[in-house]
Amino acid sequence: MLVEDLLNLPELDLRVRVRGRVDRPIRWVHTIEIQAPGRFLRGGEVVLTAGVWRTAGITAEAFVADLVEADVAAVGFGLVPPETRVPEEFVDAARDRGLTCFVVPAEVAFLQIVEAFVNTKRAEWERPLRRHLAQHDAIVAALRIDRGVGTVVRTLAKQLGEPVAVRVAGGLVAGEVPTPNHSLPLVGEGLAEAELLLPRPTDELDVEQQAAVVQAMPFIALEIERTRAVRATELRYAWELFEWVHSGAVGIDTIRTRLHSLGLPADGPLAAVVVRTEAPDAVLQRLGDLLGTDGVAAQRGGEVVAFARVPESAVELARRIHDSLDSGVVHVGVGKPGTASDLRVSLLQAAHAAEAVSSRSERGWMTHEQLSSPALLLSAQDPELLAATSRTLLGPVLDHDERRSSDLVPSLAVFLDAGGRWQEAAQRLHVHINTLRHRMNRVEELTGRSLSSTADRVDLFLALRALRQS
């Protein structure tokens, strides 16, 4: 409170006789009537007096001089009936010293002035606490509407008037990263790598901003820990769901109930997703962030599996997931969308698709639609096993070609690709049809298979395909 603020209070009706430095802050309001009052003052006080000291022969000049020497902020002279005027020598002494001097009317008690000052100071003292409580209430109110770290960060940014962010283990959790930024570690269980990113160091923030940061930090830590706890529960529920679906050990009603508890529609459309990766932990985190409330994911061994809503098509879902996993080698498989009762087939399709694409490229994706070929399903098996099986069947033919420099294997491949049409195959090979018939007879002799049998043709076709891919 400044001297001018006290003088302007209408309920006190103080009349200024000498206007000195009215912009000075008031330390306290003190009533004193003794000789040499300065020894009891610390400076910055407003002194109230009724002039009782005059009975001890103290002059106004001496009294005021001692007040000025003690560096008081102002002096007020209270009128006590029958006295109706302030002694002019008192006013002159204050004027000579440049000390603010005012008159306290007879109907105004000194206690009223003290109370007015205390009430104003109390409001000043309470203001930071009220702001602190208001900041607390603002965060609590925001969290009632929308739980999460982002809510606290947005509220804090509004209070600071500048962007802030929270980063955990090197990844941004919420907010807008200020440029430049200064990190402030968060304190809490499991928060060793969590930090609040501020636009300036804390010692460069003003008092109110520092209070806002201190107020927000426990809420941020609490929301991070709460989110982790919820996420851990969701992961456990999701893992159980995948186990149930994969094993077929529970009824469809149980599957539907678990889907509902995880926020997913039991009536679909939902598709299974399987991601093969060397970094399942990172992929699980990224896939969980990508799907949000539109899916659930869990880690099963070295794979990450998910059930996801399919707003567009399985192809678009597979491409979007694959493109979002932009680091490392990943193979994404997506099954056919359907309802809760279709999830087991979708999960098997997704697993086959991921396995098939992993055998063909360094990274990529495949959907159930691309698994319509039984040959592709077979190619999803272990490459070494396929190659060994194929060589067992075609070994004699391969040995014959190697020993005699013949072309039985290439001729067999052309014949099968031509659908068993002799003339077409002979033309492709640029040989006489009888030459081709002789070669195929020799293949039948060496393999013990008949090219007139559909089953034997399929076996030979798949064996040739496996050898090409080995």
Segment 77-125, tens digit of pLDDT: 999 888 888 999 999 999 999 999 999 999 999 999 999 998 888 877 7
Kindly report the number of other CB atoms within 10 A of residue 9's CB atom: 15
Pick the CATH number of 3-108 from 3.40.1390.20, 3.40.50.720, 2.30.30.240, 3.40.50.12780: 3.40.1390.20
Residue with tokens 């508890």: 261
**Region(s) of the chain under CATH 3.40.1390.20:** 3-108
pLDDT at 121: 84
Q: Are 185 and 177 in contact (CB under 8 A)?
A: no
**Region(s) of the chain under CATH 3.30.70.270:** 250-373
Q: Are 284 and 298 in contact (CB under 8 A)?
A: yes
Closest CA relative to residue 119, chosen from 3, 7, 6: 6
The DSSP secondary-structure symbol of 244 reads H
> What's the burial of 29, exposed, middle or buried (CB within 10 Å: 0-12/13-18/19+)?
buried
Does the pLDDT of residue 70 top 70, yes or no? Answer: yes
Segment 124-172, tens digit of pLDDT: 776 666 666 777 777 778 778 777 888 888 888 888 888 988 887 656 6
Segment 206-258, tens digit of pLDDT: 878 888 888 888 888 888 777 777 777 777 888 888 888 888 888 899 999 98
> What's the burial of 141, exposed, middle or buried (CB within 10 Å: 0-12/13-18/19+)?
exposed
In this prediction, what percent of the chain has a pLDDT beyond 90? Answer: 36
Closest CA relative to residue 133, chosen from 220, 202, 219, 215: 215
> Check: CATH 3.30.230.10 for 383-469?
no
φ and ψ at residue 404, rounded to 5 degrees: -110, 5
Q: Tokens for 10?
A: 């209408």
Instruction: Classify strands 194-198 and 165-168 as parallel, antiparallel or unpaired.
Output: antiparallel
Does the pLDDT of residue 74 top 90, yes or no? Answer: yes
pTM above 0.85, yes or no: no
CATH code, 250-373: 3.30.70.270
pLDDT at 454: 84
Q: How does residue 434 score in pLDDT terms, banded at 50, 70 and 90?
A: very high
pLDDT at 281: 80
pLDDT at 132: 66
Q: Tokens for 185?
A: 């570690």
Does the pLDDT of residue 408 top 90, yes or no? Answer: yes
